[in-house]
Amino acid sequence: MAEHLSQSELDYPFRLLEYVHGFQLSQVIFSACELGVFDLLLGAPGPLSAQHVSQELGTSLDGTERLLDALVGIHILDVEKTGGAAVYSSTEVANLYLARGSAKSLHAMILYQAQTIYPLWSNMPDAIRKGKNQNEKTFGLPPEEIFQAIYRSEEEMLKFMGMMNSSWVLDGHDIATAFNLSGFERIVDLGGCTGALAREMAKAYPSSSVTVFDLPEVVEAAKKHFSLEDDAVAFQSGDFFSGEIPAADLFVLARIIQDWTEEKCLALLRKIYHLCKPGGGVLLVEVMLFENRRGPFMAQISSLNMLVRTAGRERPPSQYSHMLNQAGFHNVQICRTGKTYDAILATR
Ligand SMILES: C[S@@+](CC[C@H](N)C(=O)[O-])C[C@H]1O[C@@H](n2cnc3c(N)ncnc32)[C@H](O)[C@@H]1O
């Protein structure tokens, strides 16, 4: 049986206090990423004093010292105190995930959380009161104009794309191999953004063709800022609601259903169903709720995130199955990867 916080915390509310201060913990990581602490420590020949860090970063000594200590407190940095002087060094986790240049860097995701998501979440009570996003109040846009709000400037669009890109560094391979998709010759990733997940698909299924389909401005930016030499994926632009969708044997919809109302999702799934030949399929990739409403916490907070900024929500597998069946698809298979994102495959 699940342990209830209220019972374990009656003597002293340790976890509760950590939760209440959770935003401050996030800000410690956000600030260190924004200031370049992890990049500096990664590139340094050895541990550095707070004074050295503050000189290199152009920050106050007092503030830097407090930040470095807090990073030690959450085990992201290490400290050694010999005599009177303290020297700080990075940990393997910080080098791998927090430094900007590392192959598995989450830097872009963290900056987006810090600069875009964090201010939005201060509107959460209002979003919950009204049951809708804040696009009208914040940007003067109708609540359904999701991507006009998200892409309100080129800078915001590029930051969003960077954030989307970095998730697949962690989960891309597990999603691409959640099912054996080698029988699908033409794969189209609808709303495929930078092509990060599509590249994982191309790596896992080298004899399939993989195309990323997205809005024209996104495709242009993806080619300019995120494409690779000898890129294994092709790009095509259009609008999956109002325009033509390219033919495929498998359509991937990763983090697409989460953005829209049930009505719009069904319209899109029906459109895809009619494009599929018998045996053709659709792969949904989402962070899936448990049926018993007990988690995962990442899915529950993602659902709140969808409330503040989109017209959608997160769902448990039964709701995806129902939607897919309503659109005409059969053989719905669910794969929980054990990581953040899960996959659902259905065929016509
Ligand atoms: C939440 S992001 C998911 C991106 C990508 N699938 C991933 O998981 O990294 C939604 C994507 O859908 C794209 N999109 C939104 N509306 C679209 C439309 N009408 N037609 C094509 N793409 C669209 C956005 O540009 C964005 O890349």
Determine the distance separating the centroid of ligand 1 and the alpha carbon of 87, expressed in angstroms.
45
Determine the distance separating the centroid of ligand 1 and the alpha carbon of 201, expressed in angstroms.
17
Exposed e or buried b per residue across 309-335, where buried means at least 16 C-beta atoms within 10 angstroms of its C-beta: bbbbbbbebebbbebbeebebeebebb
**Token output for 203:** 């790596």
**Residue 108: CB within 6 Å of ligand 1?**
no
**Residue 191: CB within 6 Å of ligand 1?**
yes
**Residue 172: CB within 6 Å of ligand 1?**
no
Determine the distance separating the centroid of ligand 1 and the alpha carbon of 344, expressed in angstroms.
18
Determine the distance separating the centroid of ligand 1 and the alpha carbon of 216, expressed in angstroms.
11
| Nearest residue by C-alpha to atom 13 in ligand 1 | 191
**Residue 147: CB within 6 Å of ligand 1?**
yes
**Residue 284: CB within 6 Å of ligand 1?**
no
Determine the Cα–Cα distance for residues 44 and 94; give it in Å rounded to an integer: 14
Q: What is the DSSP string of 102-119?
A: STT--HHHHHHIIIIIHH
What pLDDT is attached to residue 84? 82
| Nearest residue by C-alpha to atom 9 in ligand 1 | 164
**Mutate which of 133, 158, 210, 214 for ligand 1 pocket (most atoms within 8 A of beta carbon):** 214
**Residue 118: CB within 6 Å of ligand 1?**
no
* Tens digit of pLDDT at every position of the chain (348 positions): 456 777 788 899 999 999 999 999 999 999 999 999 999 999 999 999 999 999 999 999 999 999 999 999 999 999 999 888 899 999 999 999 999 989 899 999 999 999 999 999 998 999 999 999 988 888 888 888 999 999 999 999 999 999 999 999 999 999 999 999 999 999 999 999 999 999 999 999 999 999 999 999 999 999 999 998 889 999 999 999 999 999 999 999 999 999 999 999 999 999 999 999 999 999 999 999 999 999 999 999 999 999 999 999 999 999 999 999 999 999 999 999 999 999 999 999
**Residue 256: CB within 6 Å of ligand 1?**
yes
Contacts of 201 (CB under 8 A, 6+ apart): 176, 181, 187, 189, 208, 210, 252
Q: Does domain 107-347 have CATH number 3.90.950.20?
A: no
| Nearest residue by C-alpha to atom 14 in ligand 1 | 191
Domain extent listing, the chain: 14-98, 107-347
Determine the distance separating the centroid of ligand 1 and the alpha carbon of 65, expressed in angstroms.
41
Residue whose entry in the numeric block shows the structure tokens 């990442």: 298
| Nearest residue by C-alpha to atom 11 in ligand 1 | 191
337 neighbors 326 (Cβ within 8 angstroms): no
Q: Exposure of 103 by Cβ count < 10 A (0-12 exposed, 13-18 middle, 19+ buried)?
A: exposed
**Residue 195: CB within 6 Å of ligand 1?**
no
What pLDDT is attached to residue 3? 60
Q: pTM higher than 0.85 for the full model? A: yes
Q: Does domain 14-98 have CATH number 2.40.50.140?
A: no
**Residue 217: CB within 6 Å of ligand 1?**
no
Determine the Cα–Cα distance for residues 94 and 75; give it in Å rounded to an integer: 10
**Residue 215: CB within 6 Å of ligand 1?**
yes
Determine the distance separating the centroid of ligand 1 and the alpha carbon of 322, expressed in angstroms.
22
What pLDDT is attached to residue 179? 98
